[in-house]
Amino acid sequence: MRTRHTAAAAIGAAALAATLAATTGTANAAPPTLSMSAPHVAVTLPSGCVANSVNLVAAADGSEHGYIQATCSKKAKLFYVARSSGLKWSLRSTKIDMPIVYSTTTDNTGTYFVGKRSNHDLVLVRRNGNGSLSKVHVLDKVDPIGFAHVERASVVASNGNYWAVWDVNSYSTDFASHDVYQARSIKPAIKASPVSDNLWYAPTLVKAGSNFTLVACELSSEQTQDDPVSSTVVAVRSAGKWKRSQQFTADDCAKTASTGSAGAAEFLNGHTYFSRSGTGGVYDNHAGPFRRTALSGSHTPRSVMNAGNGWVNYVATSAAGRELVWQSHDDGTFDATATWTMPTSPIAVYRDQVIGAPGNITRVFIQKSSTGKPGSRLLEQVATFL
């Protein structure tokens, strides 16, 4: 029998509100209060540069690695940014030509970036631990006619090798055709080739231990752009091919015409968790096949993380723009009601990300200027478990 817990902490400059609701399953102890620090500067871009977007991914040692995509003297530039396991920040200039970044990941050799370079080819580049760059791996050449283009990509890596998936979508006034492609250097290597099912788009690849899971959206047929009907598909590898294992037809999945992220996904505590931009909750396989937990207020998925407190934390932005955090219970279940609501930043935010590190949840954000444009500083607020 589960015991109902309620906890609250004053929301102020340094506190988060905690609220629990009743559900079934095995209870945790009451969740800890989180103390939110005041914003402080993590890194500042060189003079003449403004930050457009930021993305960081967690490494096995608790460090975070990623990029700031910036404009410097009217030219696109990609900076490498990292936070050590000791929470120290570093910023490095790179020669990576990638005005649009779709996906990042990290392994024991470096940080991988997948995106479009200036000529619009889809490429993969690894920044090695010593600061050198790998060769540029061209995943997909630009369509010379201009109808087909890449909208999203996802990448995983292990021991210096990668596996990337991406969607190639063709639009006209009459139809929208979607296909997912893949390429990998993880043995056995695969050259750029289509995944077996068509009408898939917005792929997310998850490395689940020694196995892999592909989550994608699927159109029911070739639809016009104005009337897409989509569902979420989960596929696993069988005999060297991706095979559909589950499909959720009641799921609105991800919008088709968008270069943004399709959602959030991670392999944590021996199970895979994912959320798509239209699902209003989180899927997980902690009790067998994937099933969805509807979460009240969940609107746009941000991240799934283990912040070092032993439980899975799912972060989403509500329709009102508030960042909500759900913490799982010992049995892996979630309450419908958010465990915490993160207070808004006292400094105007242009773009932000919520990430996890051992013992805390952190918001990193680009400061917005007084005119509503991006600034040159990346700031952070650390929410520590008390």
The answer to whether position 353 is within a domain reads yes
pLDDT on residue 4: 26
Nearest CA to 118 out of 76, 147, 55 is that of: 76
Look at the chain and report how many structural domains it folds into.
Answer: 1
Query: Positive or negative, the Cα torsion across 39, 41, 43, 49?
Result: positive
The answer to whether position 117 is within a domain reads yes
Give ∠ CA 178-295-349 in degrees, rounded to 5.
75
The answer to whether position 9 is within a domain reads no
CATH number for 179 = 2.130.10.130
CA pair distance 221, 174, nearest whole angstrom: 12
- How is residue 151 written in tokens? 């909208």
DSSP 8-state symbol, 15 = B
List, as one string, the DSSP characters of 56-119.
EEE-TTS-EEEEEEEEETTEEEEEEEEE-TTS-EEEEE-----SEEEEEEE-SSEEEEEEE-TT
The answer to whether position 223 is within a domain reads yes
The answer to whether position 5 is within a domain reads no
The answer to whether position 33 is within a domain reads yes
The answer to whether position 72 is within a domain reads yes
Three-state SS letters, 118-181: CCCCEEEEEEECCCCECCCEEEECCCCCCCEEEEEEEEEEECCEEEEEEEEEEECCCCEEEEEE
CA pair distance 386, 384, nearest whole angstrom: 6
* Structural domain harbouring 333: 17-385
The answer to whether position 2 is within a domain reads no
pLDDT on residue 226: 55
Nearest CA to 78 out of 122, 45, 41 is that of: 45
The CA-atom distances, in angstroms, between 160 and each of 81, 107, 110 are: 20, 7, 8
Could you list the pLDDT tens digit for every one of the 386 residues in the chain? Answer: 222 233 333 323 233 333 323 333 455 566 667 778 999 999 999 999 999 999 999 888 889 999 999 999 999 999 999 999 878 999 999 999 999 999 999 999 999 999 999 999 999 999 999 999 999 999 999 877 777 788 899 999 999 999 999 998 876 656 667 889 999 999 999 999 999 767 898 999 999 989 999 999 888 776 555 556 788 999 999 888 999 999 998 777 877 656 567 889 999 989 999 999 888 899 999 999 999 999 999 889 999 998 766 789 999 999 899 999 999 988 889 999 999 988 889 999 999 999 987 667 889 999 998 899 999 999 999 887 77
pLDDT on residue 223: 58
Strand partners, 113: 104, 125
Nearest CA to 203 out of 269, 146, 265, 149 is that of: 265
Within 10 angstroms of residue 234's Cβ, the number of other Cβ atoms is: 20
pLDDT on residue 24: 36
